Amino acid sequence: MDAVRSIAEASGIAPAMVRYAGLKDRHALTYQHLSVPAGMELVSGNPSVKLRFLGFSHDFVSTKVLTGNAFRVTLRSLSALEQDAVSVRVPEVTAFGFPNYYDDQRFGSVAGEGFFAERLLRGHLRGALKIHLTSHFPNDSPKERERKTKVAASWGKWDEVRDLCVTADEIAVAEALRKGGRRNDLLLGVNAIPAEEAAIYLSAYQSYLWNKVLGILLGPHFHDHAFTVPGKMGGYRFYRSLSEKSLQRLLSLQVPTVARRLLPCDAEVQEAIETVLAEAGIPLSAFGLRGVRNAYFHSFHRPAIVVPRDLVSSGVSPDDRYPGTGKACLEFRLPAGSYATMLIKAVVGAAPR
């Protein structure tokens, strides 16, 4: 999103005119297709973003045309145990795949106050707006963290909060808070949040719920050699192998993301979703988000497990950058929406801790 904003600003067009198929990792060398209406010329406003014209299409780029992603990842500074894990786990992951969890980067919008969307679903609109204005994130500068801390300390003193806001959407949120505590006033603040940012807030909580549903569904398929890798929003549980029956069942299992209009799913999936929502104390009807105009929950199917294509390991060798450790290069392809970092966790995470 930062790249798209910088390109749009340098090109003199609205960011919404730049269409793309999914988000890329900030800390990586990535290639992405962009599209704009014919006649527009894009230039880069960021020295780390390079543009190359490819041609024309009858339609704009979107996730609907994304079939998958190819990866080349070098694992470095591997301990002896991690080197053993790579050697053993690459064939296992090739044969049995790995759970298709959403990984930690999906929860980048979640800080100490919790999920914006959860507050929204519970009707705690002022609490959701507080998360929006005050949450600290790793990429925040010291000055930004100090400003947000002051906003939190001034919470309830709306004139002071207004004076501490810097962007147009923050000011609009503060103005809505100044109007009072009525639902319609607070909804003005919620709807002032940019649509892309609101969508990220909602997808973070939706992804969290999806992971919990998947954990329930995978439970009967875990055996003694299963292992857990710590994560930002809880541990990720991995199997080492599957029976042929379990493999075929999980390969066919499609799990919908939670929304007011839930897509059709198997009875066991429906039961798992109901269990997770009951634990959260949030009814499915709440996902309609009455009065929220700039974002909504969309239900779509996501496979329970993923088997990577063309997974190849270079084998383990001494790491030239970190003496005394090992390195290995993995190349593979994943379908759209699956996480390469989760595959790495599935491989290296088997090492005893």
pLDDT at 353: 74
Tokens of 53: 């014209």
CB-based contact 331:310 (threshold 8 Å):
yes
CA angle 195, 283, 114 (to 5 degrees): 55
3-class secondary-structure state, position 76: strand
- Residue 29, pLDDT score: 87
- Tell me how far apart the alpha carbons of residues 64 and 262 are, in angstroms, rounded to a whole number: 19
| Residue appearing with tokens 């780390």 | 48
Say what the pLDDT of residue 66 is.
85
Are 255 and 213 a contacting pair, CB within 8 Å? Answer: yes
CA-based nearest residue to 188, from 168, 166, 173, 198 = 173
CB 11 within 8 A of CB 46: no
* Distant-in-sequence, close-in-space partners of 246: CB < 8 Å, separation ≥ 6: 221
Regions in the chain scoring below 70 on pLDDT: none
d(CA 201, CA 154): 23
Its sign, for the CA torsion 56, 59, 63, 67, is: negative
What does the pLDDT look like over 180-202, one tens digit per residue? 889 999 999 999 999 889 999 99
Length of the chain: 353
